[in-house]
Every structure is written in structure tokens, then in C-alpha cells.
Amino acid sequence: MKVYNTLTKQKEEFIPLTEGKVRMYVCGPTVYNLFHIGNARTFIVFDTVRRYFEYRGYEVNFVQNFTDIDDKMIKRAQDENTSVKELGDRYIEEYYKDADGLQIERATVNPRATEFINEIISFVKDLIDKGYAYEVDGDVYFSTKRFQGYGKLSGQNIEDLQAGARIDVDDRKKDPMDFAIWKNQKPGEPAWDCPWGKGRPGWHIECSCMAYKLLGETIDIHAGGSDLVFPHHENEIAQSEARSGKPFAKYWLHSAFVNVNNQKMSKSLNNFFTVRDILEKYDVDVVRFFMLSAHYRTQLNFSLDLLDSAKASMERLYNAVANLENLLDEVSRESMDEKEKQYLEILNSYRDKYIEKMDDDFNTADAISVIFDLVREINTSVNINSSKELIEYALKLIKELGCPLGILQKSTKGDLEKEIEELIESRQKARKEKNWALADKIRDDLKARNIILEDTPQGVRWKRIQ
Ligand code: AMP
Ligand code: ZN
């Protein structure tokens, strides 16, 4: 497999640190509001990356944090007259509702920064002891110039960064590029006891610390949205590598941003969509299809029209699934004949193409095209004369290729339909056993629900009456 590594600016062969295992850390949400479709893209992309590693046989240890203490959390809690803890609890619960709604697999661990305060304090202490950080009036800063490789992720040297960055004027810093890893308590802010008085962690240190504690000093993959390359991930590298003397992450993956109608999404432009809004109107398959229809490193333009066309595409794919599921009820031959067995080679070639695309830095856009090609193939070749075994194989293959993308996992037979089919089967069984009373009862019960049964040459059919 090849992955694009932001650190080396090239596609590289993926070689895990431990054979068969992937240790992966993704920067998660700050839990002060419902998450938006931009965040959703990042979460869906890395959920897909994780699912694909699993599909390829890796065991993935997947950590995604919750930032539950920072300026935004504190301000929102004050505005709402509640505590930072209560705000975090509430929006973590809401996060799970939306993430589950998007069929994002639960992480191995979702650590909260506030649950790692002691570990963060000792991390900060280590950095001070090693001479990489210094304390001023209860704040602790990281000395960027002390860390040789500063700038290596964003590909800039420290002078360029200094010239380009908007830097807070702060007399207490020894250098304008130094950044806070621990912040002294301001009035009204939540704080924890520490060797420098009372305070709270900076944002960057929490990820360095939790990745280290949960996954180890060197991890396979660190990921997030492209806005995090600088300064967040640059600073994470500096802190982690200064402390351990080892590389922090082997591969750095970044997903590009979502724009809305070709403009940056923002509350002030009134073009802000939460996942909650979108899932009310669109099925999760449609949302995931849309998010994965572009390569994760290209910007994605969002509009309701584009979602509608994703919906039409998903319908085409599900029509093929429905067609196969209906055929299963109608065909009579059970096993594949020789010709069908040979035909499997053609079907399997689509799996090979799909793997080739996904192995190439998770090219979901091309992988989706392969699924369309497969469906076209199946539509022309699998029909009423096919065996049940072949139809089931085709259905399973569509599901298999949909699974890493988190689409095409549903049956087109609704729960009600399934229940009716099962009742019809029980009735047929009762009739065979000459249990007329049970057979009649099933028919009458269905009739009471406005469903009538008809005997046809193809078997029993049912229809709804008004
Ligand atoms: P935040 O809650 O803002 O810290 O963001 C959580 C995750 O979503 C991070 O990995 C961000 O990089 C990512 N993210 C934020 N905004 C967008 C956007 N408009 N498009 C794509 N990803 C985003
Ligand atoms: Zn982070």
C-alpha cells in the first residue's frame, strides 16, 4: 500500500512498525458544539482509512481524542452559564449520536484531555528538565529554536514561519515562535494543581501526551484536517520528539477542506451546515458517498445540488442491489454451473481493480468508479437464468467493496418486508405439515394488517390493500 506522507511530501510504501498492526492517532473535535460537515469529512476519511486497513487484514489501534478544555470551551461554558465539564459531557454525547449516524466506527479509545492532566503535567516537566521548555509566572513555553527539526512538517524554516505567522506579542516569551504548553489560571477558569501553581494544558500538548500514553513513543500514522499541519502538528512533533528523542509518527496524513458553494464555510456567511442538519434530509450512504467521491487530499465543494446528485448515484447502486435481492426470490437453480464458475474470474477482477485504487493512497474516487463498473457488469450478466449461488456471490461482492467506504451495507428489503416473507414461509411450512389451523391464522393475521396473499405459479405473493 502507498500513502502520501505530508512529512516527506511524497507517496511512500506503507510499512507498519509492527507487522500486521497499525497504530493511528486522529485529532478529534473540540466538544463545544455540534460538529459540521467539514469535520465530518475528516472523520469519514480517516474512518475509511481505518476500515480499509482492516479490510487488508491489519489490526488497527485507532485513537481519536476529544479536546474538552481550551479557550473556546471556556468561553462557551461561561456564555451558557455552565461548567466546562458539563459542556464537554453534553457535546461528547452529541458527537456519538452524529458519528454513529454517519456509521463511523467507534475508536479503540476516545480519550478526553481532562482525563490525562497528571500525564500532561509530567510530560511538561520532562520538557523543562530536558531544557526544551521554560516557565514564566505559571505559564510554560516550548522553546522552538531548541528543537532542531522545527518546521519540517510544514516544510518551512523557522525564519519563514516567523515572518508568515501571526504571532501574539508576549513579552514573557523568549522568542516570538515559542508556544504555550501550559497556561496559568486566569480568573474564573478551570485549573489543576501543578508544580507551577494552578493552570491547564495547552492544546498541542494534549495530543502529544495522549498519543504517547495510548499508542507509544513512535506511532504509525498521525492524521487530521489540513489546517492542523501548522502549527498544531508541527508543535506536536517538536514536543514529542524533544521528549523521547525518537520519531513521533512515521506517516502524517492530512485531509483537505470542505468549502460550501465554493466559499469557505463560516457562521458569518450563513453557509454553515451541521451533520445533524444534513442527516435529517439525506441518508448516511448518500453523505458518505458524497464525502468519498473526491480524493481526500483535494478540496471538496459542498452544495445541496451535489448531495442530490450523490443521492441519485446511490440510488443507482441500490437499484442493482434490489434487483439481485429480488432475483434471489425468483430463481430456482441453487448452484453455479461451470460457465458461472468461470465467470467469477471476471467478477473478481473488479475486486483487484478496487484494491489497486485503494492501495494507491486511498483513492476512494476511483474505487467508487470501480464499484459502478462492477454493478454495470452484474446488471448485464446476472439475471433470472442465473443460479442463487452466483447471485449471492455478486451481492456479497458489492457489499464487500462498499464496506471500507461505509456504504452499500443495507438490504433493500425493509424490516416489514422481511417479517412478511418470514411469515409466508412459516405458513408454507404449516401447510406442508397439514397444520391448516396455523396456516389460516397466519393468513388472517396478515389480512388484519391489510396484507393479502395470492397463490401464483411462482409461489406465494403478497400485496397491500387499502
Ligand atoms: P476542530 O473541532 O475544529 O478542532 O476540528 C476537528 C477536526 O476537523 C480536525 O481534524 C480539523 O482539521 C477538521 N476540520 C475542521 N474544519 C474543517 C473543514 N472545513 N473541512 C475539513 N476538515 C475540517
Ligand atoms: Zn491534535
Per-residue pLDDT tens over the stretch 85-122? 999 999 999 999 999 999 999 999 999 999 999 999 99
Same domain, 375 and 447: no
Amino acid 272 reads F
Residue 34 Cα to ligand 1 middle (Å): 12
Question: 60: helix, coil or strand?
Answer: strand
Q: Looking at 216, 250, 280, which one is the last position of a domain? A: 280
Indicate which ligand has the atom closest to the C-alpha of 71. Answer: 1
pLDDT value of residue 404: 98
Residue 132: give its domain's CATH number.
3.40.50.620
Q: Is residue 301 part of a domain?
A: no
Is the separation of the CB atoms in 132 and 146 below 8 Å?
yes
Angle, vertex CA 146, rays to CA 142 and CA 148, nearest 5: 120
Chain position carrying cell 510499512: 15
Same domain, 239 and 380: no
Peptide bond into 190 cis (omega under 30): no
Same domain, 201 and 92: yes
Same domain, 121 and 40: yes
Residue 27 Cα to ligand 2 middle (Å): 4
Q: Is residue 83 part of a domain?
A: yes
Q: Which residues, 6 or more positions from 8, have their beta carbon under 8 angstroms from its beta carbon?
A: none
CB neighbourhood size of 38 (10 A):
22
Q: Is residue 368 part of a domain?
A: yes
pLDDT value of residue 358: 98
Same domain, 246 and 99: yes
Same domain, 348 and 418: no
Ligand 1 atom closest to residue 31's alpha carbon, by position in its atom list: 2
| C-alpha dihedral, 410 to 414 to 418 to 421, nearest 10° | -130
- Whether residue 68 has its Cβ less than 6 Å from ligand 1: no
Ligand 1 atom closest to residue 256's alpha carbon, by position in its atom list: 21
Q: Is residue 312 part of a domain?
A: no
| C-alpha dihedral, 32 to 38 to 42 to 43, nearest 10° | 50
Tell me: the pLDDT tens digits for 250-294?
A: 999 999 999 998 888 877 788 889 999 999 999 999 999 999 999
- Whether residue 265 has its Cβ less than 6 Å from ligand 1: yes
Q: Which residues pair with 223 in a beta bridge?
A: 26, 253
Same domain, 222 and 74: yes
The count of domains in the chain is 3
pLDDT value of residue 149: 93
Same domain, 401 and 419: no
Q: Looking at 405, 421, 439, which one is the last position of a domain? A: 405
Residue 328: give its domain's CATH number.
1.20.120
Same domain, 130 and 239: yes
Q: Is residue 339 part of a domain?
A: yes
Supply 6's cell numbers.
505530508
What's the domain range around 447?
A: 413-464
Q: Looking at 259, 280, 301, which one is the last position of a domain? A: 280
Supply 428's cell numbers.
408454507
Q: Is residue 315 part of a domain?
A: no
Task: Extract the residue ranges of the chain whose pLDDT is less than 70.
Answer: 163-169, 415, 466
pLDDT value of residue 166: 59
- Whether residue 258 has its Cβ less than 6 Å from ligand 1: yes
pLDDT value of residue 208: 98
Same domain, 330 and 185: no
Is the separation of the CB atoms in 190 and 220 below 8 Å?
no
Q: Is residue 161 part of a domain?
A: yes
Which string of DSSP letters, residue by residue, matches 352-405? Answer: HHHHHHHHBT--HHHHHHHHHHHHHHHHHH--TTS-HHHHHHHHHHHHHHHGGG
Q: Which residues, 6 or more positions from 51, have their beta carbon under 8 angstroms from its beta carbon?
A: 105, 403, 404, 405, 406
Task: Judge residue 444's burial from the number of C-beta atoms within 10 Å of its C-beta, 0-12 exposed, 13-18 middle, 19 or more buried.
Answer: exposed
Same domain, 255 and 366: no
Q: Whose CA is nearest to atom 1 of ligand 1?
A: 29
Q: What does the alpha-carbon distance between residue 220 and residue 203 come to, in Å, rounded to a whole number?
A: 22
Same domain, 330 and 418: no
Question: 260: helix, coil or strand?
Answer: strand
Q: Is residue 290 part of a domain?
A: no
- Whether residue 42 has its Cβ less than 6 Å from ligand 1: yes
pLDDT value of residue 159: 76
CB neighbourhood size of 76 (10 A):
17
Q: pTM higher than 0.85 for the full model?
A: yes
Indicate which ligand has the atom closest to the C-alpha of 263. Answer: 1
Q: What are phi and psi of 270, to 5 degrees?
A: 60, 30
